[in-house]
Structure 1
Amino acid sequence: MKTSKTAGTSLEIALSKYCGPDDVITPIQLDDEAVRASLGYPGPQNYLKPRRQYTPRDHFRLMRGRKAPRTFYNHIPARDVRARVGKAIWESYLKVSIVRNPFDYVVSRYFWAHEGQEVSRTGFREYLMSKPKVLHKNRRITHIDGTKAVDFMIRFEHFGDDLTELAERVGLPRDLHAEFSALGAKKGVRPPHATTDEMFSGFSEGIELVCAIYEEDIAEYGYAVPSG
């Protein structure tokens, strides 16, 4: 379950190396697809809806020049995955995702959303308070009806240890983390000085908002709450 702003694209590229012809690989951004292709890894496959499943609306959209309908897509929510793979696969497969300190996540997302624009602490505050739905994005991907639907969470802050454990668990090479680290997709947007403590300094409303939505993650993974 690929969450947002958690190094998911780099992990996706690394994992695609080990996919076979029957596995599902969804498209990513063109520059990231170029990286995947340069490494000789499999690209997008098995993600489009079979023609035998087309609805009249699907045919109409194709006639209007729209893209072919997809069964799977980038950042697809857990609810949709469950509906499309069926009960047997959903209940028997290991479901994996990446979790990140929610305070750190929202700062990273702010800079990503405003790349090339003027940014500031004031702008960050306005962004978070006017668009609190950004905090729900990853929760929608990993949870169904408010309950976590993932079996194994890779902690963004402990990627090396957790990815090595995952590799051992599913039979992938122990050096999978080294392959992942060499990719570094989408890095370099957030400036080094924009720490979580700095961006949330004096911003008690934002801290309270994040705590309310991510109470579960803060408690389960021991994430520190900015002093404000």
Structure 2
Amino acid sequence: MALQPYCSPDLEAPVEEAVPATIGEHGIIGTRKIPKKKLTGLNAEWFNHMSAAEVLEKVGRETFFAYPRITTVRNPFDQLVSRCHWQMHQGRGSYSNFDELKAYFRDLILHQNWPDDREIVFLDGEYIIDHVVRFEHLRNDLGRVAETLGLDERYLHLPHTKDTGAARRGQAVAEYFDPDTIEKVRRRMAWVFERFNYPDTPDTRPRQ
């Protein structure tokens, strides 16, 4: 979303989370906020969270490797708590107290098929990302990428979406986890921990 203006004919056009897919002379913008099972037409060709292999297949190897490849990462423990609340918001669970929420979270981590995002950043086993924007350092990292690529930072929008802070009610991320769920996240998201030096255990500080 932050880089969308540079792929648009109008740099000053407002950026919203829900958009249809578009292709123009300035670039390609994938659709956002449409369930994958409901995607049709151009929206079914270009959508958020596409794998590197899917993008390469559509643009070709020469174009794929001619452009800088940028992705975002986030502390996996925090990311999974956020995902839990996002699923609840989508009507995929409910709870009346924190014990019920923690039970749902444990089932999500241990038994549900949540994404590890490897297919987005690896291609044929090779890590193919040039620039990484860390969620925890969003503004600074985006500024660094813009400076490196020579982008005018006046148009670098930072829309605020998917905020699950209120739903957490001040609970520390560590309170959602137990040894089994910590081990599962550490193992499945090993590529993030190894490359970006995130702590091996979830944050014990209360959410603000």
CA 1:172–1:16: 2 relative to 1, 3 Å: same
Could you say which residue in structure 2 is the equivalent of 1:67? Answer: 40
Contact conserved, 1:106 with 1:135, CA < 8 A, in 2? no
1:173 paired to 2:176: no
1:16 paired to 2:7: no
Give the distance between the partners of 1:135 and 1:73, measured in 2 at CA: 16
Unaligned runs of 5+ in 2: 10-23
Give the distance between the partners of 1:87 and 1:151, measured in 2 at CA: 16
Contact conserved, 2:105 with 2:176, CA < 8 A, in 1? yes
In the TM superposition, 1:114-153 aligns within 5 A as 114-115=88-89, 117-118=94-95, 120-131=101-112, 133-136=113-116, 138-153=117-132
1:92-147 CA distance string (max 9 Å, x none): 1100000111111111101100126225112211121111x3142x2222222343
CA 1:135–1:71: 2 relative to 1, 3 Å: closer
Aligned length: 174
Secondary structure of residue in 1 paired with 2:3: helix
Secondary structure of residue in 1 paired with 2:31: coil
Question: By how many angstroms is 1:154 displaced?
Answer: 0.6
Give the TM-score taking structure 2 as reference length.
0.74
Q: Percent identity?
A: 27
Secondary structure of residue in 2 paired with 1:185: coil
Give the distance between the partners of 2:63 and 2:169, measured in 1 at CA: 42
Give the distance between the partners of 1:224 and 1:176, measured in 2 at CA: 33
1:18-75 CA distance string (max 9 Å, x none): 2233211122237xxxxxxxxxxxxxxxxxxxxxxxxxxxxxxxxxxx9326432221
Q: Read off the aligned partner of 2:40 and give its amino acid letter.
A: K
1:29 paired to 2:9: no
CA 1:221–1:175: 2 relative to 1, 3 Å: farther
1:86 paired to 2:84: no
Q: Read off the aligned partner of 1:191 and give its amino acid letter.
A: R
Could you say which residue in structure 2 is the equivalent of 1:154? Answer: 133
Give the distance between the partners of 1:141 and 1:194, measured in 2 at CA: 30
Contact conserved, 1:164 with 1:175, CA < 8 A, in 2? no
Give the distance between the partners of 2:122 and 2:56, measured in 1 at CA: 11
Unaligned runs of 5+ in 1: 1-11, 31-65
CA 1:122–1:211: 2 relative to 1, 3 Å: same
Secondary structure of residue in 1 paired with 2:132: strand
In the TM superposition, 1:74-113 aligns within 5 A as 74-113=48-87
